[in-house]
Structure 1
């Protein structure tokens, strides 16, 4: 039995599978919606607010895909392979004392006796890419809300 005090914890399999099983259909639904935005009917009714909303949702879909890719890297490596990867990348002379898995940011951290740690398994581009896509999604959401508000608010003429 693994306890919270166990220094050799990886990612909780229940959380990992639950995330994969909920994020995958969400990604498929987002891609289906975004694909529908390219129909002739949808193009006739495009607005600036709608385009920025779609850019925002594209960033969300891309971020979800990158996160899922990182989760799949963790899923396909069992405890033994993760331990081997920690050992393979261990600094010279350091002694491994633990391993932990974090979901945000997504990483598998190997801890050594001198207090340092290092990440393995999850590709190094996953978290920086997620950060950029999150910023893009937030900017897109803000711009879309602003443009939608501008579209709904009647302009008053000075006179």
Structure 2
């Protein structure tokens, strides 16, 4: 339940700042690693394990980039803007100043609760959460394939070493 004294319980400025800074650093590291995979030396040494691992990392980086994009939308809003954005449902002004907001990080969204008990999301683009889910599932699948190929390769090498 929302306290009457603070109807705007959105995402904290400090938390969003930390997420944006740490996420940007992680994203830059992932992109730098992926770019290093395209050097002439690394291209010639590509294995199926490395390709699947890189696909998993690329999918994860894409999901992180989208999450940061959604966080940036929230970061640039102040309390007044949140109230204004929540007052509109599908572009139609409902009840200005009568709604409260609740911020959630997973899934990333700003939920606007109306006085009549209904709710809707605002600010974060609608495509962000479903796309992140698909990218993370792709990353998980590619990571599992990479792991299975890696184990298979090591099992084959161990058998060859015993002979």
After TM superposition, the score normalised by the length of structure 1 is 0.89
Q: Tell me the CA shift for residue 94 of structure 1.
A: 6.2
> Which stretches of structure 1, 4 residues or longer, exceed 6 Å deviation after superposition?
90-95
Q: 1:113 to 1:76 in 2, by over 3 A?
A: same
- What is the CA RMSD across the aligned residues, in angstroms? 2.0
| Partner SS for 1:114 | coil
Counterpart CA distance in 1 for 2:34 and 2:153 is 22
Structure 2 segments unaligned to the other structure (5+ residues) = none
Please tell me whether the aligned partners of residues 94 and 114 of structure 1 are also in contact (alpha carbons under 8 angstroms). Answer: no
Whether 1:106 and 2:108 are equivalent positions in the alignment is: yes
Q: Tell me the CA shift for residue 56 of structure 1.
A: 0.2
Q: Which residue of 1 aligns with 2:72?
A: 72
| Partner SS for 2:68 | helix
Structure 1 segments unaligned to the other structure (5+ residues) = none
**What is the number of equivalent residue pairs in this alignment?**
154
Please tell me whether the aligned partners of residues 10 and 101 of structure 1 are also in contact (alpha carbons under 8 angstroms). Answer: yes
Q: Which residue of 1 aligns with 2:82?
A: 82
Q: 1:143 to 1:117 in 2, by over 3 A?
A: same
Q: 1:80 to 1:136 in 2, by over 3 A?
A: same
After TM superposition, the score normalised by the length of structure 2 is 0.87
